[in-house]
């Protein structure tokens, strides 16, 4: 395996079992002797592999639906970014219009 950054051959540093991790069972440490990039390779556990297999088995409409939802989320995020300037202005207005103090109702 070569370095992502400089394409030099990576040096294998060792495999470690990951006992506390549910999703990944082995992490392999690699490092680049040329640019000193460090690479950890996480091997999925049986549990995670099964999860992915189950996901692949799901009907396509489910994935299409998830994509659609993601798209809508992105759009609303873009929308909120566009509205940010307006919202800041209206927030200021809100403050001016509502000079309500929380303890105005308490006895003096």
Residues that bind Zn ion (CB under 5 A): 3, 5-6, 8, 32, 34-35, 37
End-to-end Cα, the chain, rounded Å: 75
Q: Which ranges constitute the DSSP H helices of the chain?
A: 46-57, 60-82, 84-97
Residue 12 or 52 with smaller CB distance to Zn ion: 12
Residue 18 or 39 with smaller CB distance to Zn ion: 39
Residue 3 or 30 with smaller CB distance to Zn ion: 3
| Strand, helix or coil for residue 25 | strand
Tokens representing residue 97 in the block: 């219009």
Distance CA(41)–CA(14), nearest Å, equals 10
Distance of closest approach, residue 4 Cβ to Zn ion, in angstroms: 7
Distance of closest approach, residue 6 Cβ to Zn ion, in angstroms: 3
Distance of closest approach, residue 40 Cβ to Zn ion, in angstroms: 15
| Strand, helix or coil for residue 87 | helix
């Amino acid at each position: 395996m070569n370095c992502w950054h400089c394409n030099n051959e990576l040096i294998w540093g060792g495999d470690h079992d990951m006992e506390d991790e549910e999703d990944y069972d082995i992490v392999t440490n690699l490092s680049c002797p040329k640019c000193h990039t460090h690479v950890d390779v996480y091997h999925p556990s049986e549990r995670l592999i099964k999860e992915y297999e189950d996901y692949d088995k799901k009907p396509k409409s489910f994935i299409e639906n998830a994509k659609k939802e993601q798209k809508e989320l992105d759009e609303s995020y873009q929308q909120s970014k566009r509205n940010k300037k307006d919202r800041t202005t209206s927030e200021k207005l809100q403050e001016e219009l509502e000079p309500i103090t929380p303890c105005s109702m308490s006895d003096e």
